Chains A and B, each alone.
Chain A
Amino acid sequence: MKRVGFDPEKCTGCETCVLVCSATHEGVFNPKKSRIRIWRDEFYGKYQHNTCRNCEEPECVDVCPSDEALYVEDGEVKFSADECLGCMVCVDACPYGSIFTHEELEYVLKCDLCDGATNCIRYCPFNALFLEED
Chain B
Amino acid sequence: MKGYAGKILFVNLSTGEIKTEKTEDDLARKFLGGVGFGAKYLFDLCPKGADPLGPDNVIAVGAGPISGTFLHGAGRGTVVTKSPLTGGYMRGAFGGDFAAKLKYAGYDSIIITGEADSPKYLYIDDDTVELRDAGGLWGLDTKEVQEKIEELTASDFSTLCIGPGGENKVRYACVIHDVRACGRGGMGAVFGAKKLKAITVRGSKDVEVADLGKMFKHYNELIPEYETKGKGLTDYGTPILVNIINNQGSLGTYNYQKEQFERAEEISGEKLKAEHWKRNDACFACRIACTKIDQAKSDPAVTEGPEYESLYSLGSMCGVDDLDTLIRTDALCDELGLDTISFGLSVSFMMEAQEKGLLGDVDLSGLDFSWGNREALYKVCELTGKAEGVGEFVGLGTREMAKKLGGDAYKFAIHIKGLEPAGHSGRGIKTMSIGYSVSNRGGSHHDARPSMEYGFTREQREDISDKAEIAFDTANWTTFGDAAVICHLCEKSTGLVLTENYVRWVNDTIGWDLTLEELTEIADRIYTMERAFNCREGITRKDDKLPWRFMNEPIPDGPLKGMYCPQEELDQMLDRYYELRGWNENGIPTKERLEKFGIGYVADQLEY
Contacts and interface: CB of A to CB of B under 8 A. Distances in A.
A29 B204 contact: no
A125 B287 contact: yes
A14 interface: yes
A125 B240 CA distance: 21
Interface string B344-375: 00000000000000000000000000000000
B227 to A, nearest CB: 8
Interface in A1-37: 9, 12-16, 19-20, 23, 26-33
Nearest to A12: B282
Interface in A100-126: 102-104, 125-126
A16 B206 CA distance: 16
B208 interface: yes
Interface string B60-72: 0000000011100
B147 interface: yes
Contacts of B69: 19, 29
Contacts of A30: 104, 204-207
A14 B293 contact: no
B303 A16 contact: no
Given A14-B285, A15-B97, A16-B70, A29 B209 contact: yes
B304 interface: yes
Nearest to B227: A125
Q: Which of B143, B212, B281, B302 has the most CB of A within 10 A?
A: B281
A33 B205 CA distance: 9
A15 B204 contact: no
Contacts of B68: 29
Q: Interface size for chain B: under 10, 10 to 19, 20 to 34, or 35 or more residues?
A: 35 or more
A126 B287 CA distance: 8
Interface string B211-231: 010001000000000110000
Contact of A33 (B146, B206, B284): B206
Contacts of A13: 281-282
A19 B104 CA distance: 12
A11 to B, nearest CB: 9
B155 interface: yes
B280 interface: yes
B594 interface: no
Contacts of B284: 14-15
B289 A12 contact: yes
Given A29-B68, A31-B104, A39-B155, A16 B207 contact: no
Interface in B64-87: 68-70
B107 to A, nearest CB: 15
Contact of B226 (A26, A32, A46, A125): A125
A15 B206 contact: no
Interface string A50-94: 000000000000000000000000000000000000000000000
B204 A103 contact: yes
11 contacts: A14-B287, A16-B287, A27-B212, A30-B204, A30-B206, A31-B104, A33-B206, A39-B155, A43-B178, A44-B303, A125-B288
Given A15-B97, A29-B70, A30-B204, 6 more contacts: A12-B282, A14-B286, A29-B209, A32-B203, A46-B279, A126-B289
